[in-house]
Every structure is written in structure tokens, then in C-alpha cells.
Copies of this chain bind each other. A is one copy, B any other.
Amino acid sequence: MTDTLDPDLLRRMHAYWRAANYLTVGQIYLRDNPMLEEPLKREHIKHRLLGHWGTTTGLNFIYTHLNRAIVQRDLNMIYVMGPGHGGPGPVAHTYLEGSYTEIYPRIDRSKAGMRELFRQFSWPYGIPSHVAPETPGSIHEGGELGYSLSHAFGAAYDNPELIVACVVGDGEAETGALATSWHSNKFLNPVTDGAVLPILHLNGFKIANPTVLARIGDDDLRDLMRGYGYDPHFVEGHEPEAMHQAFAAALDTCLDAIRQIQKEAREESADQAKLPRWPMIVFRSPKGWTGPKVVDGKPVEGTWRAHQVPLSKFETDEHVKQLEDWMKSYNAHELFDEEGRFREEFASLAPTGQRRMGMNPHANGGLLLKPLHMPHFAQFAEDVKTPGDHKAEMTRVLGRFLREVMRQNMRSFRVFGPDETASNRLEAIYEASPKTWLAEYEAVDEDLAPDGRVMEVLSEHQCQGWLEGYLLTGRHGFFSCYEAFIHIIDSMFNQHAKWLKTTRKMEWRPPIASLNYLLSSHVWHQDHNGFSHQDPGFIDHVANKKSEIVRIYLPPDTNCLLSVADHCLRSRHYVNVIIAGKQPDWQWLDIESAVRHCTAGAGIWEWAGRGGDDPDVVMACAGDAPTVEVLAAVMLLREYVPDIRIRVVNVVDLMSLETPDEHPHGMDDDRFDDLFTKDKPVVFAFHGYPGIVHKLTYRRHNHDNFHVRGYKEEGTTTTALDMMVLNNMDRFQLALDVINRVPRFAGEREKATQRYWADIQRHKLYVSEHGWDLPEVRDWQWKAEDAN
């Protein structure tokens, strides 16, 4: 046994841990009699017992030890708890250190406060059973597992003085997101970034099963951690005194190693940094440590039975007595005074002020958030003299804007992407900063550097997790991704959206920067990769979330994209989804018009329609590719039925289609009727699955006249126009839709139908003969005409 801790410190730390464990049991079990001043009775115990005991004492143990290190070394440290179901642990610890009461004065440091602390836990109108936004010091929602290390690294980037202690649960370690996130070390610069100290907590069991990493033996586990690039330090056992000494020694070793790595690295410049072998801890402790060893004749401590509530069914006195004995084993009266206050002898072990992990501002990023320095986006504008006078690659232009944002915010803005930044044509960013890379180099590498700031790894999980950690600690970011594969992080998006929704109402957590997605290489521009790369459903997924925190933008051209991106980067506490293609395509609006259009969210494109205030039909479009197709249809219709009166409406801000009571961007009925009329047919070409347009508009007066075309899951390797044809959103179909819906063209319908079939036949013949080989019919040009 090492003797890192002198006997008195050991005694006090052990008491501190016991106090946290006592408060943990109390939260799970008690509704009254918090200090056990009277004999425990059934009526003191909650009737429905909800919480997770198994992991919590381990989390508490680590918290106690991190406190010692923070005080002794004056560390700036936050604590990410992967096994977030151990919610009572950080609540107990932040209560002991005083953070909790500062934030929630109702839960004061008294017997009454302790009673409230116990009652509120996992209780209606109380607090969640998992680590949650409500938990001081947390940037990591419990519940869904797998993102702790990504969050921890995200927090550490560009925070050179910060150490993020991160407990990885052994159940969590089986998830895909976690399994790959160990490699985050290859993307962390020891000079300009902080450190992450992973603590793999092996307590052997999940809900009902052993865990893989607890059952592969120390040799394989050591190899695995070394394979991931770490230097593992093992702490194993169950006898508290020995465990305290062993953990303290391991922690000191690791913190010394971190200090040494940083010291050596920081003697060189950031661009000279090498990948160090960072330390990590493997911590084996019994599941449900210090809890009941046996219940009803079955082993509990050290088994999966300790996962949630080890003792339940209090119908008989036996379990009541066993709970009482268990709680008394912590000697609460030695720990808390007669008023229920944590005794100073132990309380004084905690750090103070913002060094307390419950009060560290890095775990409450809104406190640290500074607005980005923003270049004016108009300087990157496309010069559009008349609509459709040239083509441009939307995202390539956006890349120049992002380059300048990067240049002006070199320590607070990062761009993330799963190996797709260049593929999405944002590579101008590299002129401001290359990509982060701490692993080995080869001579042919380009745009890579140890101090690069563009984060690329082929894992959407990692990109999302890093970005979340970066945002939650008060910085800004931008995530570009192939549209189809953003579904990989559907579930992570859910959890982040929940975090934003919950914290929006919490005054002590100021808003953070929005999470900005650019979805490119989208469904209409994946004609070459084909069906596996085509899926516009993230729109539907996002639209289900609370309207107060989600925004979906479908800019029709480059200048609109610039305006939208600028708006998103300045916004707070949203998830912004921007969908924009990368292929050269027609440009419509000059920059002033684009700003006006995007500010309105949706508007009539007078120059594209004809016939003024009394249209025969409204042709609506949302998305760059559908906009091109609608305008092509307008040109066909000019020819087919020259006297037609068409109104073209373009929708940039999808949520503007909703009513204002459903979404803050929703337009009121009058404005909706002004755009879409109350009674004229509306032929709507939509970027994604068409159903959502119906979902958003079903309350509108004119809804029954809405006819929506969109992606209907007909994808393959074919030309861009043929993708439209397969999904019945091509110009020929749209023109036919219009003629079929305008009553005064009833006489034209048969002819129009025949012409449609002829057009489609000609198209199919063309494609089968020429494939990609000649400029296809899509390569037309919009021709303005005098409005009637």
C-alpha cells in the first residue's frame, strides 16, 4: 500500500466519501427522517424507488479524490461522468461543496435542506435521476450513454489550462461512439489545448449483464488502452483504505505526467507538438460498493443486482432494518452536525469558489461565451446582376466566409467534418487553418498540422461530440456533413436538443452558441454516389423537436446561404440546420435581395412569376434544386400556355410555414394567405420528403389546394434531372401539375399529358443513350421576360 495520503487526510477524505455516499442512499430512498434521528420506518421511505446506486459510489470516490488534487495543485478541472445514471453522486457532492445551495437556495445546508435534497430526487417536479442540465458542474446529460470522452475532449480543445476528468463507464465503453472516441487524443494539441484524464470505471456489470471490458483480463485491457495510445494505470480492489491510497497515488502519477507532457510540449511552439502518450486510469471497484452485500440471500454488492435499487419491497421490517443498518454504516452524525450541516473538518477539503467542480464556469459555458468577431458576409457575395445570369458553387463561397470567421476567432471557433470538408467544397477554410493532426506524418500530407483547427475524423459521432463539448464550454462551431449520413447522430442531436430545451428555462445557465449544421452533398447532388447517399430525412427528425430551439434553412442560392450562415453563427441556443448543395448552379438574388428574402423567411419572387396579384397558380419551392426545377417549369409553362399567370414563392426558413403559435418564425395567417392565396392551387416543390410540408401547413386556409412534390425514396446513380424525374419533381411533371390544377386550362389537360409523356420519353431516351456524357437538358438558362 502506498502512503500518498497522510493518515489524517485519509481519514477526512474517507469521511467525505462516506458523506457523499450517505447522501446518495438518502436521495434514492428517503422522503423523511434524513438524519435518521428516529428509527427508520416504512413511511420515511419513498414508495417508488428510482435511481441507480451501482455506479454512484465509484463516481463519488473519484470526485473526492479529484477535489484533493484540485486543492493541492490549484487545478482548473471539470468532471464529465459517462455513467450519468449515477445522478445522485454529483448532486451529493455539489451539495457538500456548497455549489448546490448557491444555485438552489431552497436546498440549504440544514436538516430541512437535506430532507428536501432527498425528496426532490427522481420525483415529480423534482430533479431527474440522471446527471442532467439541472446538475451543477455538468456538461454531460446522463441517460443515453457513449459521448463522455468526445464531450471531454471538446471541452479541452483551446482551453490550455483546463483538465477534464472523464469517467468512462464500462457499459458505456461498449457503445460505438465511445469505442472510437478514445482516438480523440490524436486531435489534441498539448500546447494549445487542455488535458483529458480518462478514468475507465470497471464495476463489472451493466443493467443485467457483465461488461465486455471488465471480462477480458488485465493483459488485453492494457493492450487495448496502449493501442488507443494511452498509458494505463490500474487501481483495483474494494478495501477503502488501500483503495484511497492506490487511487491517490495513481492520480498523482497521472497529473504529474500531464504536467510534464504539457511542460515539455509548451517549450516548443504549437506547430511542433507531438502526440504524447497521455496517462489514463483503469479503476476496478465493486458495483454498488459499500452497499448491501446480500439481499434475500442473493449477492448484491459486486453484481448487476446493485445497478439500480439494491433493496426494495419494504413490506417486511427486515428490509427496513437492512436499509437503516446500511445508512448507519456511514456514521452520518460523525459527518453532519446536529443542524444537518456538513462538518467543517471535512467540508474544508473541498475547493472553493470557481475551483469547485460544481461552480467551474467551463461547465456552464454561457458564462464564458463571447460573440464571434464577424467579417461582413456581403464581401463574399456573388455578383448577380439579373437572376440566373451565372452559376456558382454555393458551399465554395461559404468556405471563404468561414475562412474569415476562422481567421478572426482563432481560439474560439472550430469547423468539424467527417472527412468531408473539402468534398463539401469548403476548403478555403484551410487558408486560415489546416486540419488538426497529432499522429504520424508522411511527406505527401497536405493541410495537416498539429495546431490545425479544422477537425476531421471519419466519425460523425466524434464530430458531433467534440462540437457539443466545445459549445457547452462556451465556444462556437460549425459542422458540415453529407446530408444522408447526418442521421448517424440523430440520437446525439436529440440529446443536445433536450439539453437546450431544458437549459433555456434555467436562469443560472446563460445561453450558449447554437449548434450549426451545414448539410451538403445532399439528396439531389448525390446522383453519382447513388441511393446509399440519398436521404433528406434529418429535416423531419429536427422538426419534431421544440420549436423554440430548432431552425431549418433551405437557401436557394449562394447569397441566401451567406445571409443564413451569418445569422446562424450569431444566434444563441438553437440547433440550426442549413441545407445547401455544392454543385455549380444558377444564382438568383443579389446580396441585398437575399438578405431581405432570408429575413422574411419566405417571399414572392416577382421577377420569376408573371401576372401580378391574381395568379392562376402558386408555384412554391424550398431548397436549391427544387428552386431550379420550379423556374424551369415556369419557362416551359410560358411556352405551353403563354397567358398563364404564375406566382413563384420561395421558402428559405422552413419553419415560417408553421403558425406563429407553433413556431416563433411562423407567419401569421394573413401573411400566409398573401403568399399562397386562400384558394388558388399551390404546386410545391420541396427538397425533402413531401409529407412535412403538409404537416406544417395543415391548418392553413388554402391547405387543401397544396400539392407537394419531393423526394419519395427513388434514388439511384443517375443524372440530376433524372433524379427529379424518378421522384416526379421534374420540370415536365411540375408543368403538368400546374395545367392539371388550373381550371381555365381544363381544355389543355389532354394535350399537356401527351406532351408530358413525350417529354419524359425523350428524356429517358436521352439518358439511356448519353448517360453523363453530354450536357443534359438541365443545363439551361433562366431568361427573364417582361412581367405581364
CB of A245 within 8 Å of the partner chain: no
In the bound complex, CA of A448 to CA of B229 (Å): 33
Q: Which B residues are in CB contact (< 8 Å) with A130?
A: 529-530, 532
If A176-B459, A229-B220 touch, whether A484 touches B144 (CB-CB below 8 Å) is yes
Residues of chain B contacted by A485 (CB below 8 angstroms): 144, 491
Residues of B within 8 A of A532 (CB): 128, 130, 132, 141-144, 495, 498
Docked CA distance A541–B536 (Å): 11
Q: Which residue of B lies closest to A180 (CB)?
A: B179
Task: Indicate whether A97 reaches chain B with its CB closer than 8 angstroms.
Answer: no
Bound together, the chains give a CA A142 to CA B533 distance in angstroms of 10
User: Please, how many angstroms separate the alpha-carbon atoms of A494 and B538 in the complex?
Assistant: 12
The reply to whether A544 and B713 form a contact with Cβ atoms under 8 Å apart is yes
Alpha-carbon distance between A546 and B689 when the two chains are bound, in angstroms: 11
Contacts of A494 in B (CB 8 A): 484, 487, 535, 537
A773 lies within 8 A of chain B by Cβ: yes
**Does A641 belong to the interface (CB within 8 Å)?**
no
Asked if A421 is at the interface (CB within 8 A of a chain B CB), the reply is yes
Using CB atoms, name the residue of chain B closest to A502.
B531
> Could you give, for residues 179-218 of chain A, a 1 whenever the CB lies within 8 Å of some chain B CB and a 0 otherwise?
1110100100000000000000000101111111001110
Contact with B along A473-509 (1 / 0, CB 8 A): 0000000000011011011001100100110000000
Please state if A440 and B227 are interface contacts (CB–CB under 8 Å).
no
Residues of chain A in range 237-272 having any CB-CB distance to chain B below 8 Å: none
Residues of B close to A741: CB separation below 8 A: none
Structural contact, A217 and B440, CB atoms closer than 8 A: yes
B-contacting residues, A81-132, CB 8 Å? 119, 122-130, 132
Whether A180 contacts B186 in the complex (CB less than 8 A), given A143-B530, A458-B206, A541-B490, comes out as no
- Say which size band chain A's interface belongs to: 35 or more
Min CB distance A600 to B, Å, is 24
Chain B contacts for A491, CB-based, 8 A: 484-485, 487-488, 490
Expressed in whole angstroms, the minimum distance between the Cβ of A722 and any Cβ of chain B is 6
Contact partner of A772 (CB less than 8 A), chosen from B46, B226, B719, is B46
Residue in chain B with minimal CB distance to A534: B498
Q: Does A694 contact B (CB under 8 A)?
A: yes
A433-486 contacts to B, CB under 8 A, are 435, 437, 439-442, 444-445, 448, 456-459, 461-462, 484-485
Q: Which residue of B has the minimal Cβ distance to A706?
A: B698
Within 8 A of B (CB), among A117-164: 119, 122-130, 132, 141-146
Q: How far apart are the CA atoms of A473 and B245 in the complex, in Å?
A: 53
Residues A291-313 near B (CB distance < 8 A): 299, 302-304
Neighbour of A719 across the interface among B31, B124, B435, B459, CB < 8 A: B124
* Least CB separation from A439: chain B residue: B215
Give a binary string over A403-438; 1 marks a CB under 8 Å from any B CB, 0 the rest: 000000000000000011111000000000001010
Task: Give 6 A-B contacts (CB < 8 Å), ordered by A residue.
Answer: A171-B458, A174-B462, A208-B419, A220-B228, A485-B491, A537-B544
Give the 10 A-B CB pairs with smallest separation, nearest first: A143-B532, A224-B227, A176-B176, A48-B772, A179-B180, A179-B179, A223-B227, A215-B439, A487-B491, A124-B718
